[in-house]
């Protein structure tokens, strides 16, 4: 987790005031141990979604994915954050307007589902639009990136496409993904997603 993230959480809703770590179901108080255990648990749960994919219906499916991935670690898995988050001075979507954002993203998902399976260009553009909005929403206290990448993968899968935005054997893909999401660079993201789904279909 980047040190450039800032959380407005005076009541320590999510963190232990003594250790500064996220409260977790394992009562882990060492940051390296928490990182290791969380990574292992999420990797296992990701594999389960590869074997039994969740069908994306609307924004609720994003919360279902988060709940599945982080159920072993955090009691708030699958629940929207109740604190404000910013990164490098840029605030993510304010929690007071979440309901409006949810309706808008539901609309984007519905538009995606109407795009013909063979129109990779339009599919890539709509996936990018969904990703950009979900990333700005940043609905969870932790685990947003992993959840939204899986969300995109499952959306693409419904069109018969393979999409991996964090391949273990291609660091540049992840770097371009990070640049695109951090800078809200839809051009970079569209190009990346189109390149990946286009290549995988050939």
Give the residue extent of every domain in the chain: 5-201
What backbone torsions phi and psi does residue 5 show, to the nearest 5 degrees? -75, 140
Residue 89 has a pLDDT of: 82
Among candidate residues 173, 170, 143, 163, the one with its CA nearest the CA of residue 79? 143
Separation of alpha carbons 82 and 9, rounded Å: 9
| pLDDT tens digits, one per residue of 40-58 | 999 999 999 999 999 999 9
Residue 139 contacts by C-beta under 8 Å, 6 or more apart in sequence?
Answer: 62, 63, 66, 80, 81, 93, 98
Structural class in CATH, domain 5-201: mainly alpha
pLDDT in tens, 170-194: 999 999 999 999 999 999 999 999 9
The predicted-structure confidence for 52-96, as pLDDT tens digits, reads as follows 999 999 999 999 999 999 999 999 999 999 999 998 888 999 999
């Amino acid at each position: 987790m980047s040190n450039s993230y800032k959380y407005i959480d005076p009541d320590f809703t999510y963190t232990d005031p003594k250790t500064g770590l996220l409260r977790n179901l394992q009562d882990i108080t060492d940051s390296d141990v928490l990182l290791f255990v969380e990574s292992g648990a999420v990797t296992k749960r990701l594999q389960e979604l590869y074997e039994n994919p969740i069908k994306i219906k609307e924004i609720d499916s994003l919360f279902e994915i988060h709940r599945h991935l982080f159920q072993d670690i955090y009691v708030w898995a699958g629940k929207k954050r109740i604190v404000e988050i910013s990164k490098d001075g840029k605030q993510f979507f304010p929690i007071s307007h979440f309901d409006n954002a949810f309706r808008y993203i539901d609309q984007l998902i519905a538009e995606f589902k109407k795009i013909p399976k063979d129109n990779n260009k339009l599919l890539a553009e709509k996936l990018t639009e969904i990703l950009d909005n979900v990333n700005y929403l940043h609905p969870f206290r932790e685990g947003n990136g992993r959840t939204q990448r899986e969300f995109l993968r499952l959306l693409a899968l419904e069109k018969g496409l393979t999409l991996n935005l964090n391949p273990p054997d291609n660091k540049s893909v992840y770097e371009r993904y990070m640049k695109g999401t951090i800078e809200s660079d839809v051009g970079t993201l569209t190009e990346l997603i189109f390149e990946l789904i286009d290549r995988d279909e050939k």
